[in-house]
Amino acid sequence: MSTWAHFYAGTIAGLAGLSVGHPFDVVKVRLQSRELAARYNGTWNCLVTIVKQEKILGLYKGMTSPAAGVAAINALVFGVYGHFIELQQRHMVFPSKDQTQPSLTNVFIAGVAAGSVTSFITGPMELVKIQLQNQTHTTTSKASLSAPRYTGPIDCFVKIFQKGGIRACYAGLTPTMLREISFGPYFVTFEVISRLLRSLQPNPNGKLSTNEDDLSGWQVVLAGGSAGIMAWCSTYAADVLKTRIQSEPSRYRGVIDCARQCYKEEGWRIFFRGLNATIVRAFPSNAATFVAYTWTMKMLSPVNLQEEVRPLCESTRAAC
């Protein structure tokens, strides 16, 4: 399958996952933020409070920023992943005993590479998203009520750049990269569960299936959702540090200083605050991502494209 197919399928997958998971992401960011976390008593209280004070649209704050970049991010993730899988197989790097599928080592390396590359896009994009999400507008005093600092994602990015240059736009890049390497365990988990499920349904000829198209919808949902949970659990602490640094860039001198201050002020539990909301979000969001990805890849497979083109060619010849 062409690398461009992975890029295109990743774009569709990202949009599907974003539409399902963004409200949970807003809750996660609020619970991780030092200034806002004290307002809420937990995941459910945060969700209810946002809806009560800011209406349902409050759960979609900052969505235009990731929506604008989600195509590029997911195209890169799945595109780079597919490219590195093909590259390793072509040069026989950690070859698999089963030549019909990559080894799990290939999958892990490709996932880490994909996450590392996309960090340079997700960093500035999530900085803008977090700055917008932290604009709560819940002030009750008329005297203290003022216009929001940023009117939208473009205005936010421009003001950050004008104030601190390109360096300011990449605040939190180190923890972002530490978080994004979770695409290694992400793709490995999906592959392990997918292969296990395929092994339980032999082909008519009695051989085990190795084709992803043989997975049913619920099996893709199970594998994709589980992959999302595993990825977040493996690097969640890095995401907490990323959120803190991007919420208040001037407060911390770096990721180590941020970790030290967080632990000193709030203890070890801070590194897991908001994990419940993240896990709740991870399963449906990543299930939707992989369902959209596998469906799009199936539609782009040479067999399906030939089936679509053949009737067109036959009707054209008949017309002639």
CATH of the domain at 261: 1.50.40.10
Does the residue 27 lie in any domain? Answer: yes
Question: Looking at per-residue confidence, does 236 or 37 come out higher?
Answer: 236
Q: How confident is the model at residue 6, as a pLDDT?
A: 87
Q: Mean pLDDT over residues 4-17, rounded? A: 88
User: Over 80: is that where the pLDDT of 63 sits?
Assistant: no
Query: pLDDT class for 112, splitting at 50, 70, 90?
Result: very high
Q: Mean pLDDT over residues 132-149, rounded? A: 60
Q: How confident is the model at residue 183, as a pLDDT?
A: 97
Alpha carbon of residue 245 to chain centroid: 19
32-61 b/e (C-beta count within 10 Å ≥ 16 → b): bbbebbebbeebeebbebbeeebeeebbeb
Q: How confident is the model at residue 67, as a pLDDT?
A: 63
Overall domain count for the chain: 1
Does the residue 41 lie in any domain? Answer: yes
Does the residue 144 lie in any domain? Answer: no
Does the residue 140 lie in any domain? Answer: no
Domain limits for position 79: 3-135+149-319
Does the residue 141 lie in any domain? Answer: no
User: Over 70: is that where the pLDDT of 142 sits?
Assistant: no
Q: Mean pLDDT over residues 131-153, rounded? A: 66
Does the residue 52 lie in any domain? Answer: yes
Q: How confident is the model at residue 37, as a pLDDT?
A: 77
- pLDDT per residue over 255-307, tens digit each? 999 999 999 999 999 999 888 878 988 999 999 999 999 999 988 876 454 54
Give the Cα separation of 80 and 187 in Å (integer). 12
- pLDDT per residue over 227-265, tens digit each? 999 999 999 999 999 999 999 988 999 999 999 999 999
Does the residue 121 lie in any domain? Answer: yes
